[in-house]
Each structure stands twice: as C-alpha cells, then as structure tokens.
Amino acid sequence: MSRFDFTFQQDSEDNTGGGDRFPSRLKEHDQWLVTQDKKPIVPSEGWQKSVNQLAFTEAQSKAEQLGGAVAFCFTEGGPFIGFDLDDVKEGGEFTNEALGIVERLDSYTEVSSSGTGLHIIAEGDHSDDHKHRGDLSEVGHLEVYDESRYFALTGDVYGGFTSVESRSTVVREVQDDHLPESQKFSFTGQQKPVSEQGFDGGKTGATPEQVRRTIEEYGKCRHTDVDHTRVIHWWRGQNGMKTSASEADMAFIEQLYFWCQGDQQLMDECFRTSGRMRPKWDEVHYSNGDTYGERHIRIACRRGDDEFDGRYVQ
C-alpha cells in the first residue's frame, strides 16, 4: 500500500455500528459526556470534573434518549491525547499533510462531524514546549489536547485505524513538526492587583472565619473522619509533613476546595487570611498572566470532586 493509499475496513470489535464503533480502550474509562451540537448537555456544567463524567454505556444510553452524541473527555493525568485536524480537505480530499499525520500516529482515527476534519486519539502527552494550536502548511489547522477538552466522537473510522495505540515518541515528534513553540516566560516577580484577578464565587455567603471554625468543629466530632489538625496547621502557615511550602500550599488549597464548596473567591479569601499568605500569592508566575494563587486555585478546582454539604458554624 502506498503512503496515502488508505482503505476503509470494518473491525469486528470497534467498527460494527452502535457503540462498537468506538475503541474498547476508550470505553474502559469513565470519561464520557453527552453533547448536542458539540456542546455538553449531560452534564451541562462541570464536565471537567471526573465525578461528573459518565461510563460509556450510560453516556450512550442518554445520547440515544436525547438525540445527542457521545463525547470523550481528556483528563489531567490520563493516558490519552487527542489531535484535532480541522478543515483539512482540499478539492474534496484530505490533504497529504493531514494524511501524513494520520499515518505517523497510526492510532484511532475518525472523520469529524463536519466531514472536513479528522480526530486522532493515541496514548501520549502534550508537550509543554509547544502551544496547543498551529496552522498547517497546506490548509486547516491542528489542535492537540491531553486534558480539559473533549472530542464529540462520530465513530466514522478512517483508513482502518480502529484502535488506540501508545505512541509517546511519535506524539512528541508530530508536535515538534506542526505546533509552534510556547512563549518563553521569565519570572520577574511582578505583582498583579487583586482587582485584576478573576475568580468565580460568592455562592456560599460564608466568611473565612466561618470556614475555619467549621473545620475545627467538624474535627472535634468523633463520627467524622475530618483531619482538622492537619488543615489548621496549614492554615497557620506550617508545612506539616510536606517537604516544601509550595507543596503545603497546594495541599491546603485542595482542602479549601472542599470546605469552600468550590467557591474560588472564598478559597482566595481564606488563603489571604491564613498564615500561608505571602507576596508570592499575587506574583505573576505564568506566561498567560496567571498569578501563583490563580493557577493553584484553578488546579484544585479541576482536581476536586467532592464538596462540603453541611452548614457553616456562625
């Protein structure tokens, strides 16, 4: 077979219609959503959190009931990476450049819902050295994600690439060849005014002092498994069993996600009133303008899958 002489074929497990069109490797993971017009409807919000994502069979059933489509979500720390080749047809045919990427990755490939793009899913990681999006040299562009994104899948398998394969080396090489390098960022210690830091919040109506007292009171109850001592130590500025202040910061913020019910604004206020607060919290540490505090709160919110559902001590 020549380099671009692809043929369509049916696979007995993954391409026989219905749910069997999708790779079994993906169906093993509870990382599915239901979409309509590429927008998530089940769940309609909070789809980034693993607790809200569905098993494949549940997603497929709901999609059939609602007239939607299933989508696979890429999650932080997961093994999968997605390549979205958009608008890569010219004269009614996929370009040689797009087909070259398909052949190199040699993993699950499908035609997108528009009919003019391709989805490729493999095992590998996005390179921090590259941006997520790049224009291709012929037509169209390529986007690459391994977390906080989803593909609305069609199951319209292309070229007989029916299974998800581990391609870590090639995944990196394709990014090297087709994605621009990330902007290099040098930390300058620049402070970002609090008024310019954007946090969602205000839903709890609680204060940092009420949160702190609630943690202490719940910790006194023998019928709970709350390790309030550890959290309060972090609140006071101690590192506890953590090897560094930064590691203790992250652990404390992840606890704040639970106790603040995911309220980013309240999480920020709690940290500012704690003994951990220092100028670093408001320093811009990332090339997109995020401060140390903004980035850590957003990471905690992506990871969090449980929230306090009791009443705050007044």
Task: Using pLDDT thresholds of 50, 70 and 90, give the confidence band for residue 15.
Answer: very low
**270 pLDDT higher than 70:** yes
Per-residue pLDDT, 285: 82
Question: Where do we find the tokens 């509870």?
Answer: 30
% of the chain with per-residue pLDDT over 70: 89
pLDDT band at 131 (very low <50, low <70, confident <90, very high): confident
Contacts of 101 (CB under 8 A, 6+ apart): 83, 85, 120, 142, 174, 178
Write the pLDDT tens digit of every residue in 30-44.
Answer: 999 999 998 999 998
pTM: 0.59
Q: Other CB atoms closer than 10 Å to residue 265's CB: what's the count?
A: 17
Contact (Cβ atoms closer than 8 angstroms) between residue 95 and residue 140: yes
Structural tokens at position 242: 């953590």
Cβ contact 66:36 at 8 Å: yes
Q: How would residue 11 be classed by pLDDT, with cut points 50, 70 and 90?
A: very low
Q: Which two tokens stand for residue 41?
A: 């409807």
Mean pLDDT of the chain: 86
Q: What are phi and psi of 32, to 5 degrees?
A: -115, 150
| Close Cβ partners of 295 (under 8 Å, ≥ 6 residues apart) | 285, 286
pLDDT digits (tens, 9 = 90+) for 177-231: 999 887 655 666 687 777 777 677 667 889 999 999 999 888 777 555 556 788 9
d(CA 158, CA 14): 12
* Mean pLDDT value of segment 250-272: 93
pLDDT > 90? residue 10: no
More confident of the two residues 309 and 119: 119
CB-side exposure of 282: number of CA atoms within 13 Å? 12
Q: In whole angstroms, what separates CA 195 from the centre of its chain?
A: 27
| Cα–Cα distance for residue pair 130/277, rounded to 1 Å | 32
Average pLDDT over residues 286-310: 85
Q: Cis omega (within 30 of 0) on the bond before 79?
A: no
pLDDT for 229: 83
- State how far the Cα of 105 lies from the Cα of 101, in Å rounded to an integer: 6
CA distance 61 to 19: 10
Q: How confident is the model at residue 22 (pLDDT cuts 50, 70, 90)?
A: very high
pLDDT at 129 over 90: no
Would you state the pLDDT for residue 184? 58
Amino acid at 298: R
User: Taking the domains of the chain in order of start, what are their residue ranges?
Assistant: 18-178, 194-303
241: helix, coil or strand?
coil
**Looking at this protein, which amino acid is placed at residue 277?**
M
